Amino acid sequence: MHRPTLPSRRRALLVTAVVAVTAVPLPAGPAAAAPAADRQQRYAAAAGEYGVPADVLLGVSYLESRWDSNAGTPSTSGGYGPMHLTDARHVTALPRGGHHDTGAEDPRGDDSRTALAPRATADPAPSSAALQTVDAAAALTGEAPESLRTDPNANIRGGAALLASYQRELGAPVGAGTDPAAWYGAVARYAGADSADAAAAFADEVFTTIGAGESRVTDDGQRVTLPARTVRPERTWLDRLGLRKLARPDGLECPRTISCEWIPAPYQAFGDGDYGNHDLSDRPKRQKIEYIVIHDTEGSWATTLKLVQDPTYVSWHYTLRSVDGHIAQHVKTKDVAWHAGNWYVNAKAIGLEHEGFAAQGTWYTEAMYRTSAKLVRHLALRLGIPLDRQHIIGHDNVPGTTAATVRGMHWDPGPYWDWNHYFDLLHAPRLDTGTPATGLVRIDPDYATNRPEFIGCVTPGVPCPSRGSSSVVLRSAPSADAPLVNDIALRPDGTPNTMEVSDHGARASAGQTYALAGRQGDWTAIWYLGQRAWFHNPASAPTATWTVGMVVTPKPGRATIPVYGRAYPEQAAYPAGVPYQAISPLQYTLAAGQRYSVGAVLPGEYYRASTFDGSSPGDWTVIRGGNRYVQIQFGHRIMYVNLADVQVLPSPVDAPR
């Protein structure tokens, strides 16, 4: 993860099961600039050439990349092109570390304890032969490795050749007309997984995709279709791969349909009253879980696992692997992990770390999106967490605890996380019955064509690779030439925020809901951080949809009201011996006449946890008072207002037209 002022460095993860690497510039091949006239025909031709059933080839490619070429840039696990061929030749080992030791954020975010400043000591992961699938594909096809990385047509041929070679090595039948069911073992091996469970989960998802069918336009404008076909895969082929089988202990909190293992984070005392790396609790009996927080690791799977097992580091509940979507659980959901930088949120949240980077020129794999969505849906349904962007949030949506901490908060998973696709995979309900008169706007850009011109992904000040984004840029007036809006916490001098990829103070994200503040031509304004913020929203290519819901506005007679980063109880609620945690407003205020979308009404709560054995006064209890708070979408991050300060109203029919 990052903080807003952190310089960007070019990094790309190349791990099939255990390796992290950084991409260095690659020469652009001539084929990379010109996509094939008909990508569908290229899949068919490659399938015929190497004797792979076309639906198997299409199914594998979809689960790797959704058939996108990603302009020849690597995934967060170092795969290139529609078939996700890996190449370690142009990479160097990543620096040691993880996102929680980067920047000024205290991952625990509890003022009652000494701020954490974790420092990573993990070593880079060892190399793996699976990093060089480009080499194997080159040997099988005669294509140059550069072409396999940058030319989608060559990449598809390479993937088909690899599948066929895996099939032959298993002693299974090869041929475009063979039964796809017999290709289960080759598909499972293609994942590069290090366990039978992960390989099987990947293969099962491929065959589920074949059964359901898919059709979409790729990021370079190619319509590709996989017709639905019922296939009952022959799973016995998996046994010939000889992969280890994972233990699945009782109490593992993952659905059975995904690959998951228990790699516990330590709850361990160090002496002198210090301990790590999480706090015990009894949620949801003790305190309701309101949030699931999406993070990225800014490091490799292997390094991330080593960090979370370090008692002197910090913790999160789950880590997800990019190459195949495999999951490790580290902390029980009943306990409180240290990950979000805000103790109020931590005490009411589950944290998921996704192997990858927020902005280093890489992309997240479909395999990881899918298993993450399955896990989140499973947890949300079990714990009663709504499947919306007020409760399924990014780390970049978590507010600072006080005015002093806002600037240092992290901004992962970044503007390239595809929130709309993720919520489609969650099967989340949508309420799109509004009109401009109902006064609420849901940010809803087309991910593939919405390509803000961010800078600094690889080198500070240098334009990022052109790619789809969930973020909509916000301006101070209805014009493409107008300055961006100002986030006073990030830029106290009042200057506009920037297009630096880490500078999230002038953007809204897919799925977030805001109150309408005005319309002019193709431009729409929303209330954002106490000001009108404009975004381009033409009817011919809308970047938002209309919806309905509840809003807050200051009570009559109040010119402004304070905004908070945590929803703590009043001082009188604290028992003797428990230090009062101040109700400290942020830099922002909510003025009369402004409206903000409501996410929830919450009790003022503080979970007291300060000792290893719960021996301090009030430890392992939730302190509640009379204060109640309303969670609102105030800027890019959620924030809170005191219920006593506001009116909570239906989204207005007198909204600006």
pLDDT, one tens digit per residue, over 105-162 is 999 999 999 898 887 765 555 456 566 899 999 999 999 999 999 999 999 999 999 9
pLDDT at 653: 61
pLDDT surpassing 80 at residue 11: no
Of 122-136, 207-221, 603-617, the least confident? 122-136
- How confident is the model over 465-494, as pLDDT tens digits? 899 999 999 999 999 999 999 999 999 999
pLDDT at 90 over 80: no
- Which among 267, 9, 17, 12 is positioned nearest to 131, based on CA atoms? 17
Domain presence at residue 135: yes
Mapping DSSP to helix (H, G, I), strand (E, B) and coil, where does residue 266 land?
Answer: coil
pLDDT at 216: 95
Report the pLDDT value the prediction gives residue 271, as an integer from 0 to 100.
85
Task: Establish if 325 belongs to a structural domain.
Answer: no
CATH number, position 218: 1.10.530
Asked if residue 162 is part of any domain, the answer here is yes
251: exposed, middle or buried (C-beta count within 10 Å: 0-12, 13-18, 19+)? Answer: exposed
List pLDDT tens digits, range 197-213: 999 999 999 999 999 99
Give the number of domains in the chain.
1
CA 397 – CA 345 distance, rounded (Å): 11
In eight-state DSSP terms, residue 195 is B
List CB contacts of 173: < 8 A, sequence separation 6 or more. 167, 179, 182
Interatomic CA distance for residues 314 and 301, integer angstroms: 16
When pLDDT is cut at 50, 70 and 90, the band that residue 3 belongs to is: very low
Give me the chain's average pLDDT, please.
90
Structural domain including 209 reads 35-88+127-241
Does residue 6 belong to any structural domain of this protein? no
pLDDT value of residue 121: 64
Residue carrying the six token digits 């079990």:
382
- To the nearest whole percent, how much of the chain has pLDDT over 70? 90
The predicted pLDDT at position 337 comes to 98
- 0.75 exceeded by pTM: yes
Q: Is residue 183 part of a domain?
A: yes
Contact between residue 525 and residue 534 where contact means Cβ atoms under 8 Å apart? yes
pLDDT 10s digits, 238-290: 999 999 999 899 999 999 999 999 999 999 999 888 999 999 999 999 999 99
Cα separation, 570 vs 487, whole angstroms: 28
To 5 degrees, how large is the angle CA 475–CA 298–CA 508? 20
* Residue 2 belongs to some domain of the structure: no
Residue whose C-alpha is closest to residue 77's, from 359, 364, 348, 279: 364
Read off the pLDDT of each residue in 364-382 and give the average, rounded to a whole number. Answer: 97
pLDDT confidence band for 535 (50 / 70 / 90)? very high
In a domain, 429, yes or no: no
Residue owning tokens 């309303």: 630
| Structure confidence at residue 32 as a pLDDT band (50, 70, 90) | very low
Lowest mean pLDDT among 7-16, 198-207, 260-269, 373-382: 7-16
Q: Indicate whether 2 pLDDT > 60.
A: no
In a domain, 301, yes or no: no
Sorted by sequence, the CB contacts under 8 Å of residue 534 that are 6+ apart come out as: 474, 475, 476, 477, 478, 479, 482, 518, 520, 523, 524, 525
Provide the 8-state DSSP code for 132: G
Report which of 323, 321, 424, 337 is spatially closest to residue 377, judged by C-alpha positions.
424
